[in-house]
Amino acid sequence: MNNIIRITTLVENVSHDPRLMAEHGLAFWIETGSGNILFDTGQGKALFSNAHSLGINLEQAAAVVLSHGHYDHTGGLEKLLQTADRVKVYAHPAVFRHKIARDGAGRFYDVGMPFLDPKAFRKQAEELIRTEKASEIGHGLWVTGTIPRVTEFEDHSDDRFYIDKEGRQPDNLIDDQALFFEASRGVVVLLGCAHAGVINTLKHISQLTRHKPIYTVMGGMHLGDAAHGRIECTIGALRDFKIERLGPAHCTGGVATREFFDAFPKKCFSCPVGTVTEFEVN
Ligand SMILES: [Zn+2]
Ligand SMILES: [Zn+2]
């Protein structure tokens, strides 16, 4: 009999269920049959509240995978480590770097991982399972490691991220990575924010899987400030990949999300908090 991998959206910007908290952030709970993996942790508040409401026991997490170091993906890590102290943490070591953003008024503010206890921070940095390169998490799941930036249209020059508070050194977020696994119908990809670009991410996964068809892509696509041309090129490239199911979420942005639903009306789905998607795996 085939196994099922079951993914529950635990944190997301939108909730349609009054029991579940919406929060700018992302977390997916992945049940594999041989172990449970948490992909990202949201800002920290909604993760535990929603897990409780959905009957998900975070103490049973065998591993947590961090897509990158921004607070809306790593804010729940400290409490998770206190809750599930044997959990393994997979991430690029740059998740611990200073991460600064600049707002529209030119002010700089911290968007990095909030660790309240510096001792926990140091311990975690030492014990991290580093994923600079593509790595197997186990249970059939993989992370991409650092994603090469190869497309011309996924331009990051308008991103307002820095590693210093004066805004001198841009942060190209080399820690950004996606999680993927091979399901019976094709490869399934979970994105954090896709700061590397969703098409760069898919091209990298396509190489890593020796060009297996990509069946589903879900998560944040970071197209909120993207120029129209970039959204159009992204849609064209998604069409070339013949994606069968597309779940734009979190930081994809309203305009890009609408355009995806227009371009792929039968393939697009939304994944607010509480959404469960299941995939058969061989
Ligand atoms: Zn981010
Ligand atoms: Zn984000």
pLDDT in tens, the chain (282 residues): 569 999 999 999 999 999 999 999 999 999 998 899 999 999 999 999 999 999 999 999 999 999 999 999 999 999 999 888 789 999 999 999 889 999 989 899 999 999 877 777 777 777 899 999 999 998 899 999 999 999 999 976 667 899 998 889 999 999 999 999 999 999 999 999 999 999 999 999 999 999 999 999 999 999 998 999 999 999 999 999 999 999 999 999 999 999 999 999 999 999 999 999 999 998
Question: Does the CA dihedral 88-46-247-234 come out positive or negative?
Answer: negative
- Residue 116: predicted pLDDT: 72
CATH number, domain containing residue 175 = 3.60.15.10
> What is the distance in A from the centroid of ligand 1 to the CA of 107?
18
Q: What tens digit of pLDDT does each residue of 139-176 get?
A: 899 999 999 999 999 976 667 899 998 889 999 999 99
**DSSP strand E in the chain: where?**
3-11, 27-31, 36-39, 61-65, 88-91, 100-102, 108-110, 129-130, 135-138, 141-143, 161-162, 179-183, 186-191, 214-220, 245-249, 276-281
Q: How many CA atoms lie within 13 A of 188 on its CB side?
A: 18
> What is the distance in A from the centroid of ligand 2 to the CA of 33?
28
Q: How many CA atoms lie within 13 A of 13 on its CB side?
A: 14
Domain that holds residue 243: 3-281
- Residue 124: predicted pLDDT: 77
> What is the distance in A from the centroid of ligand 2 to the CA of 220?
7
> What is the distance in A from the centroid of ligand 1 to the CA of 5?
26
Count of all residues that appear for the chain in the document: 282
The 8-class DSSP code of residue 156 comes to -
CB-CB contact of 46 with 24 (8 Å): no
Pairing assessment for the beta strands 27-31 and 36-39 based on DSSP bridges? antiparallel
Residue at 79: amino acid letter: K
- Residue 154: predicted pLDDT: 94
Query: Measured between alpha carbons, how far is residue 166 from residues 14, 104, 172, 255 in Å?
Result: 33, 15, 16, 31
> What is the distance in A from the centroid of ligand 2 to the CA of 9?
14
- Residue 157: predicted pLDDT: 65
CB atoms within 10 A of CB 158: 9
Nearest ligand to the CA atom of 220? 2
Residue at 282: amino acid letter: N
To 5 degrees, how large is the angle CA 174–CA 179–CA 182? Answer: 140
Number of domains in the chain: 1
- Residue 279: predicted pLDDT: 98
